[in-house]
Amino acid sequence: MATLFSRSLPKTLILGSTFSRSFLAATGAAVSASSRSSFSLLRRLRPLAAIIAADFGFLSSATSVRYFSTSDDPKPNGPPTFSDDGCDFKHWLVVMDLRGAELTRDEMINIYIKTLAMVVGSEEEARMKMYSVSTKFFFSFGCLVSEELSHKIKELPKVLWVIPDSYTDIENKNYGGEPFINGQAVPYDPKYHRSYYERNNRQPCITCKRRFG
């Protein structure tokens, strides 16, 4: 039986064999083309966020979900476990659908700021609540807001999902993406998407090789 929970996830997420079925359904007919495309990239760059999205109902045909669910009776024998370090229901990953528009990085970031400003009151406040952006392989930003505000963000135009964020680098307590510090995005560097190349067994471009080397 599914239960609702609000503020925190358990130390580990116990996912049963239903994950594979949920994943297939999430990437199938139940999800729009734009959601499937964004999810595929999200799965490579933010694995835990993608798992939450697929297994806990974020990937419905609608663009928003109003609750989180888990199992009352997780089976200890067999299902894989995934660390949820950093997942505190205060840090949120907002995934947007900006496909089809030829936007510069600055224009994308400006859209993120304006989107968040709709619920926090001003662009200045939005800037201070953002801690990361993604402008390369999928469109998203990380923001530090209450769970209540996260529900309001879900209702905004072009927002696909709002997902509890978690560390991509546990040792350094890093949520991943392109850092957004003191209201400004740091200059783009391919190293911020190194995990994308590593997880896809792809050879990065010459510039990436030089940066990563």
What's the pLDDT at 99?
83
Determine the Cα–Cα distance for residues 56 and 23; give it in Å rounded to an integer. Answer: 10
Determine the Cα–Cα distance for residues 170 and 34; give it in Å rounded to an integer. Answer: 30
What's the pLDDT at 85?
82
Phi, psi dihedral angles at 162 (to 5 degrees): -125, 115
Q: Do 18 and 63 belong together in one domain?
A: yes
Q: Do 125 and 198 belong together in one domain?
A: yes
Q: Do 78 and 120 belong together in one domain?
A: no
Q: Which residues, at least 6 apart from 75, have a Cβ–Cβ distance to it below 8 Å?
A: 14, 16
Determine the Cα–Cα distance for residues 135 and 115; give it in Å rounded to an integer. Answer: 15
Q: Looking at this protein, which amino acid is placed at residue 161?
A: W
Determine the Cα–Cα distance for residues 178 and 195; give it in Å rounded to an integer. Answer: 12
pLDDT in tens, 159-194: 999 999 988 888 999 898 999 999 999 999 888 877
- Of 3-7, 117-121, 205-209, which range is least confident? 205-209
Which of 51, 83, 115 is the last residue in one of the domains?
83
Which of 47, 62, 83 is the last residue in one of the domains?
83
The CATH number that applies at residue 122 is 3.30.70
Q: Is the pLDDT of residue 81 over 80?
A: no
Q: Chain-wide mean pLDDT for the chain?
A: 68
What's the pLDDT at 31?
41
Q: Do 129 and 58 belong together in one domain?
A: no
Burial status of residue 102 (CB atoms within 10 A of its CB: 0-12, 13-18, 19 or more) = exposed
Q: Do 79 and 181 belong together in one domain?
A: no
Q: Do 123 and 185 belong together in one domain?
A: yes
Q: Do 132 and 34 belong together in one domain?
A: no
Question: ∠93-94-98 over CA atoms, to 5°?
Answer: 140
Q: Do 79 and 102 belong together in one domain?
A: no
- Report how far Cα 55 is from the mean position of its chain's Cα atoms: 14
Q: Do 102 and 189 belong together in one domain?
A: yes
Q: Is the pLDDT of residue 203 over 70?
A: no
Domain count across the chain: 2
Which of 65, 83, 101 is the last residue in one of the domains?
83
Q: Do 76 and 108 belong together in one domain?
A: no
Q: Give the residue numbers spanning the domain of 52.
A: 2-83
Q: Do 105 and 200 belong together in one domain?
A: yes
